[in-house]
Amino acid sequence: MKIRTRFAPSPTGFMHVGNLRTALYEYLVAKHEDGTFVLRIEDTDQERYVEGATDVIYDTLRIAGLIHDEGPDIGGDYGPYVQSERLSLYKPYAEELVKKGCAYYCFCTKERLEQLHESGAVGYDRHCRNLSEQEIADNLAKGMPYVIRQKMPVEGESTYNDLVYGDITVPYEDLDDQILLKADGFPTYNFANVIDDHTMGITHVVRGSEYLSSTPKYNALYSDFGWDIPTYIHLPLIMGKTVNEDGTETISKLSKRHGSTGFMDLINEGFLPEAIINYIALLGWAPSDNQEIFTLDELIKAFDIHGISKSPSVFDYDKLEWVNAEHIKRMTAEEFTAHAKPYYDKYNISEDKYILLDEILKPRITRFTQLDEKLGFLGSLADYAIELFEHKKSKSTIETSKAMLEDAIPLLENVDWDRDSITDALKKYAEEHEIKNSVIMWPVRIAAAGVAVTPGGCAEVLILLGREESLRRIRIGLNKLKEL
RNA sequence: GGCCCCAUGGUCAAGCGGUUAAGACGGCGCCCUCUCACGGCGCAAUCAGGGGUUCGAGUCCCCUUGGGGUCACCA
């Protein structure tokens, strides 16, 4: 049988990386076996409706590359794929359960339930579970608002198997009569979820481990209807770590206090979609070998449920940064340039410099947003401190710098303007004067760049600036030194 | 609090009865070097504690401790 998984987010306008990882695993579970990945929108909560929120879901999945085979926007044989459009479907199922004696009408008011909870009760007290036929008929005739509740077994226990966690057993006495159909006629998630998964032919239910203890309720529903229970794959949660004022650390479910947790937030900070996907794939799953950098296609091939771990994992921004850098390093020159182009344009960099920039920039950034800082010296010459010319390790001092710049000017005026020629000329000069290469390289680079740290060395900086601008800056540097 | 789940370095983790307990991030050191990176080499750092089972336990069982989840007319 072909595997069918589903991603069923509710449109909140925000895609948490935890949700995205769930979507990713659902996608991988299906695609590893050449199965079908379905998108279903769970919008049964009318009070939480957010305008444009479904677009965030579509955009995220598209950018992340998790392309669904069926969904609200592309259709499929099991539609509609939006719960609010399936509304008429749920009530008959709920009523069928009532007829079977597996569910019942409940007329308790919200006020009564609130009081119940305030008095310390946990769950529902099953107040309406045994109303007489007559009472029910009367209440219904009076038009009293009602919900439909699931009639759970009261004793014994329920066991099911999860592919990650193994057998899970929960005593029935700990499971209450949950609401299936709300007073507004909408199904609860707990109910819609089961109906939809079954009617959509979902074979593997992949979700966060927070559902582990309520799954027996769903299983009771499946068996009440006489349906097959799907294969369960529960995922460990993604956590965040904060350091408290007293130096201790707190680990809790990843949230905004830990940093950016929304997919789009991460994108805006300069993380690549493929790097985010790569990193979150590794949070809670490990391949059978030691590979760490994956493309989505490689993940599809390598993914194996056996590699999913049971314990929660902490989101590590440092490692995400490293994964991002690795993806950048693996880019072709064309790909790198495409990402860097906006920054190049900002500094009016001509196309003939792209190859050089690819070479010197690629190993020096972990995110493209750092390009501004790396390229900054090209835009204008900073009013740098004269001490920049002093560098112990390079044996460069104010005095040597002055002499070097003086000699460098005529040399650079006549050398062929390419990397090798410039480097050779400077090295030859050093050799002839029996000094270290750095004694001349250092001051020339500093004078040209005006900053201590540059991507690339002396020759690269000169090439990027061009002969004219380079010489202009070196003369400025020389004057600075002479003024002392 | 009841119930469910989890437990290998700071973090992600391999391990599925016999290993010097992998690898990666981060940290530190060295090398390369005209700066910063990249790259190379190396170092420090883990089986929560206690009982069993076994010739042998990080691996199996129990307890303790710790962590997480869940107990809505949210999903």
Residue A257: what pLDDT?
A: 73
Q: Which nucleotide is nearest to A449 (CA to C1')?
A: B35
Q: Which nucleotide is nearest to A451 (CA to C1')?
A: B35
Closest C-alpha to A333, from A353, A296, A360, A359:
A359
User: What is the SS3 assignment for A56?
Assistant: helix
| Residue-level pLDDT at A248 | 67
Task: Give Cβ neighbours of residue A216 (< 8 Å, ≥ 6 apart).
Answer: A158, A160, A168, A170, A172, A175
Query: A270-299 pLDDT, tens per residue?
Result: 999 999 999 999 999 999 999 999 999 999
Residues of chain A (333-372) having a beta carbon less than 7 angstroms from strand B:
363-364
ipTM of the predicted assembly exceeds 0.85: yes
- Those nucleotides of strand B lying less than 7 Å from any protein Cβ are 1-8, 10-16, 22-26, 33-39, 67-75
A194 is near strand B: CB distance < 7 Å:
no
User: What phi, psi does A475 have (nearest 5°)?
Assistant: -65, -40
Residue A37 falls inside a structural domain: no
Please count the other Cβ atoms lying within 10 Å of the Cβ belonging to residue A55. 12
Are A218 and A100 in a shared domain? yes
CB-side exposure of A389: number of CA atoms within 13 Å? 23
Last residue of a domain, one of A188, A213, A235: A235
Task: Report the distance from CA of residue A18 to the C1' of nucleotide B41 in Å, as an integer.
Answer: 38
SS3 A406: helix
Find where tokens 């004078």 sit: A447
Residue A147 has pLDDT above 70, yes or no: yes
Same domain, yes or no, for A97 and A194? Answer: yes
CA A484/CA A482 separation, integer angstroms: 5
Residue A48 banded pLDDT, cuts 50, 70, 90: low
Å between A49 CA and B41 C1'?
57
Q: Is residue A27 part of a domain?
A: no
Confidence band for A52, pLDDT divided at 50, 70 and 90: confident
pLDDT for A230: 97
Does residue A45 belong to any structural domain of this protein?
A: no
Total domains in chain A come to 4
Is A112 near strand B, with its CB below 7 A from some atom of it? Answer: no
What are the pLDDT digits (tens) for A406-462? 999 999 999 999 999 999 999 999 999 999 999 999 999 999 999 999 999 999 999
Give A337-348 pLDDT, tens digit per residue.
Answer: 999 999 999 999
Residues A363 and A441 in one domain: no
Provide the pLDDT for residue A296.
98
Q: How far apart are CA A319 and CA A271, in angstroms?
A: 12
Mean pLDDT of A212-225: 96
Q: How far is the CA of A298 from the C1' of B19 (A)?
A: 30
Instruction: For residues A226 and A123, state if they share a domain.
Output: yes
Give the span between the Cα atoms of A252 and A242, in whole angstroms.
8
Q: Is the distance between the Cβ of A139 and the closest atom of strand B smaller than 7 Å?
A: no
Is A244 in the same domain as A225?
no
Q: Which residue has the higher pLDDT, A13 or A230?
A: A230
pLDDT of A433 reads 94
Bridge partners of A150? A103
Residue A335 belongs to what domain range? 331-367
Q: Classify residue A296: in a domain, yes or no.
A: yes
pLDDT score of A47 = 65
Quick: pLDDT tens for A173-184. 999 999 999 999
- Chain A 1-40, CB < 7 Å to strand B: 8-10
Select from A215, A235, A255 the last residue of a domain.
Answer: A235
